[in-house]
Structure 1
Amino acid sequence: MTAQKNRGRRVVAAAALAMLSLGVTSCGAINEQATTFQYAASDGIVLNVGDLEVRNLMLVTKSATDEARLIGSLVNTTAAAQTLGLTLSTGSVSINVPAKSVVSLEKTENAKTLPSTGVLPGAQAEATLSVGSGSADVSIPVIDGTLKEYREYVPGGFDPKSLEHLTPSEKAAAH
């Protein structure tokens, strides 16, 4: 009877171990693996509009009412020039992209600005992008010079005083 009891305990232990391992590994069976998601690993948006590839597009400004600079890249792999139209509620710009070329909006000669974004940095500006007969309604991230890599693109120059509120004061540190 003891051998039968031990065999029963082993069966119960094996079943418990099988259930435990199933419980630990089963989330992979019902949830998609995170590393299979494709996404834009950037601060800006990435999409294709018509025959034009829009990469890492964003707006840099000091405030909702100050001038805003568009940065990112436009890639044209076709044999014909393409024109991107970008329209916000506050204004619009057109950008010509020659055939088989890349236009980097960070370069001074390609700089494009809008009168304002209408939204604070940290928010997203609703816009329409158009190329030929194709168009897309998008939300473009609006940033300021908080991150060093974007300070040179702030229209009118970056003001270091805009970051003073982020530095703890002696009075705050004492509490």
Structure 2
Amino acid sequence: MITARMTAGRRIAASLALAGLALGVTSCGTINQQATTASYAPSDGIVENVGDAKVRNLMLVTDAEHNEARFIGSIVNGTDTSVSLSIDVASTDIVEFTVGANGALKLEDEEFSVSGLGIGPGEHAPATMVSGGESIETTIPVVDGTLEEYRDFVPGGYDDSTIEHLTPTEQPGHGGGH
């Protein structure tokens, strides 16, 4: 015989089980950071704000460790006065950029570069950025012409021989099978 007390107990147990299930399914957000709230650079370059200068997708392009490296990316100024930004890369060169009021400087349209970097493609160059009395330490990615979209920016021109080692070749005695 089922009594009202037994039915109420089953309802409470079922409610607790359902609440536990709901908590288990949805609680991962309480202990893990939501990926959609994380700020990140959606490309190969870095994103930084230094004073009023907004640095977007900044990277260096070179073909070898000791060759000239060219800046690409953008520097944006959202103020009513011009903004200056200096970047000291790997303690080799200090490069100065000036962006007019409410303007942007697209570095791909310019020829800003550093020499004697000593840091090759695939690495990050340590840098100090200074603007408006604010200074930050960061690292700038260094890329080469492996990706076609960067080939036009390799100082001195892109050379196909720099990526020949990436092309698969048939090895003797290894025909066709796994």
Give the Å deviation of 1:32: 2.6
Cα distance, 1:151 vs structure 2: 0.7
- Equivalenced residue count is 171
Residue of structure 1 equivalent to 2:130:
130
Q: Normalised by the size of structure 2, how large is the TM-score?
A: 0.82
Relative to the length of structure 1, the TM-score reads 0.84
Report the Cα distance in structure 2 between the residues aligned to 1:97 and 1:41, rounded to whole angstroms: 23
Opposite residue 87 of structure 2, the aligned amino acid is: L
Moved more, 116-125 or 143-152: 116-125
Residue 77 of structure 2 corresponds to which residue in structure 1?
A: 76
Q: Secondary structure at the match of 2:171?
A: helix
Which whole-Å CA distance do the structure 1 matches of 2:117 and 2:150 have between them? 16
Equivalent residue number for residue 105 of structure 2? 103
Alignment partner, residue 65 of structure 1: 66
Deviations 1:71-104 (A, max 9, x none): 1111122222222111122222112212221110
Structure 2 CA distance, aligned partners of 1:42 and 1:58? 10
Q: Structure 1, residues 3-55: CA drift from partner, whole Å, max 9, x if none?
A: 58x97889877765654443333212322321122222121111111111111
- Percent identity reads 51
In structure 1, the residue matched to 2:38 is: 37
**Which range is displaced more, 153-162 or 24-33?**
24-33
Q: State how far apart, in whole Å, the 1-side matches of 2:131 and 2:39 are.
A: 24
2: CA distance, partners of 1:97 / 1:29? 42
RMSD: 2.4
Any gaps of 5 or more consecutive residues in structure 1? Answer: none
Moved more, 14-23 or 156-165: 14-23
Amino acid paired to 2:125: A
**Conserved 8 A contact 1:90-1:118:** no
2:116 is matched with 116
Unpaired runs of 5+ residues, structure 2, are none
Q: Distance in 2 between matches of 1:14 and 1:81?
A: 63
**Alignment partners' CA distance in 2, 1:33 and 1:102:** 32
